[in-house]
Structure 1
Amino acid sequence: MSQNTVTHLIHDRNHRGTTKIGWLDSRHTFSFGNFYDPDRMGFRSLRVINDDQIAPGAGFATHGHKDMEILTYVLDGALEHKDSLGTGSVILPGEAQVMSAGTGIMHSEYNHSQTEAVHLLQIWILPDEKNLKPRYEQKAFPIEERSGKLRLIAAKDGRDGAVTIHQDVDLYVSVLNTGDVINYHQQPHRHAWLQVAKGIVTLNGEELRAGDAVQISGEEKMEISTEVGGEILLFDLA
């Protein structure tokens, strides 16, 4: 691809895969579990984005992962995490949690509340190296740092207080209120994935709703705005 070529593709929320069981309502942006679409096998190093709603008190029993960077971003509610490193934590909205599975890790994830559902995005990113030492990191980002502007929450170099991930990816989040406008200049040699987590936003005049995503390769100046409010994740990928 020449540096002047730009590809811009919208991934419709209604074309995502679905897993619905008694305690879990999940939407899969990319192929996952029983959902397989050869055109949805990930984007660059981004492999999984699952939009999960978990019933009160329920969750994923202890299971294993290997050679994957697993990020959790809670939108509403609280998620309880335990792992074989001895970590026990509760993840709240506005916090970034990363688990580098590396040579292997076991963990469980449960809704911390017995009365309210928890809504989260689980994100898997392929690491730039295999057989890394497993690790866990979690940080909180106050709403004033995320409101109406992009806040870096995960990066390879952990700069600006972001959690560290083993891949050349910068992950930004933003909570937009009515009338907010965000501008971002995507560099010609990079790629972007914009995920709408909540509400309705427009990207360069195109309306996007919660669950929609846009993949971009090549240089593009992005203007993201909203008339009703929304929450977004923006991945800047190698």
Structure 2
Amino acid sequence: MENNETIIDQAIANHILHKANTRGHANHGWLESYHTFSFANYQNQERMNFGVLRVLNDDKVNQGMGFGKHPHDNMEIISIPLEGDLEHHDSMGNTTVIKEGDIQVMSAGTGIFHSEKNKNNDQLVKFLQIWIYPNKKNVTPRYDQISLDLKDRHNKLQQILSPDPEDEGVWIHQDVWFHIGKFENEFSTSYELKKSGNGIYAFVLKGDFRIGNIVVKERDGLGIRDTDTIKITANSADAEILLMEVPMQF
């Protein structure tokens, strides 16, 4: 029997486990990117989306390099910086820099152009680029970013995104909630889904976790359907995880 390191994808009842080493990979020299779901030249009919979660890219951009101006429409786009500084420009007139602890969101709606660049010439920038199908099309494009206190995710789940402009974190046009937690070894907590019919996709940023009886390691992804609650236990020190609760129908 294969051990946990060499399992490709497991479809277990209401679970789908995506091991880190099975993701799509692109290396353009200035950009190295891992794709959990089909993207650009990585096309896998078994990996098109998890509910309304369409794209989960794990990007690393070299010093002073970046993505030139390019268009988007009718998509909710979330950037989560993990290391370094990412400079943003868009057709709405925004010029900003995001760093670890910041969350950036764009509702592309009727259409926007934007560019992203590593602001620094002496270090990499690492960030997650996430696309969510919206529940409203052709909305007026919007941009937002906030800075969060990293201490508020120590041994608890810090909400970073929701569908409610008055709630914690940024908001988008979809019934989606994102949380990040950073836990000490053997710390356990539970997450209760906020909307019936939603699923949850867990992505391990650092360390190892046990979710229910499934072990997930750094950069593994685990999608869970048909559940109201999940239990999370850290299996290593400073283990960090991103939880994305999303509608399964769109």
TM over 0.5: yes
User: Contact between 1:182 and 1:225, CA under 8 Å: does it hold in 2?
Assistant: no
Give distance in 2, aligned partners of 1:224 and 1:125: 27
- Pick one of 164, 170, 187 that aligns with 2:171: 164
Q: Give the corresponding residue for 1:229.
A: 238
User: Percent identical across equivalent pairs?
Assistant: 39
Give distance in 2, aligned partners of 1:218 and 1:139: 32
Q: Give the corresponding residue for 1:177.
A: 184
1:122 maps to a residue whose letter is Q
1:196 maps to a residue whose letter is V
Report the Cα offset of residue 188 of structure 1: 5.6
Q: TM-score scaled to structure 2, two decimals?
A: 0.89
Q: TM-score scaled to structure 1, two decimals?
A: 0.93
Report the Cα offset of residue 159 of structure 1: 4.0
Give distance in 1, aligned partners of 2:235 and 2:125: 25
Identify if the C-alpha distance between structure 1 residues 188 and 98 changes in structure 2 by more than 3 Å, giving closer, same or farther.
closer
In the alignment, structure 2 segments of 5+ residues that lack a partner are: 1-12
Deviations 1:29-63 (A, max 9, x none): 00000000001001111000000011110110111
User: Contact between 2:186 and 2:233, CA under 8 Å: does it hold in 1?
Assistant: no
2:148 equivalent to 1:141: yes
Question: Where has structure 1 moved over 4 Å in runs of 4 or more?
Answer: none
Give distance in 1, aligned partners of 2:237 and 2:244: 23
Deviations 1:81-113 (A, max 9, x none): 010101011111111100111111010000111
Give distance in 1, aligned partners of 2:85 and 2:182: 18
Deviations 1:137-196 (A, max 9, x none): 001110111121111111111343321100010111112233432211347632111011
What does 1:30-109 correspond to in 2, within 5 Å? 30-109=37-116
In the alignment, structure 1 segments of 5+ residues that lack a partner are: 1-5
Give distance in 1, aligned partners of 2:120 and 2:213: 39
Question: Helix, strand or coil: the match of 2:167?
Answer: helix
User: Contact between 1:200 and 1:229, CA under 8 Å: does it hold in 2?
Assistant: no
> RMSD in angstroms over aligned alpha carbons?
1.6
Question: Helix, strand or coil: the match of 2:164?
Answer: coil
User: Contact between 2:185 and 2:237, CA under 8 Å: does it hold in 1?
Assistant: yes
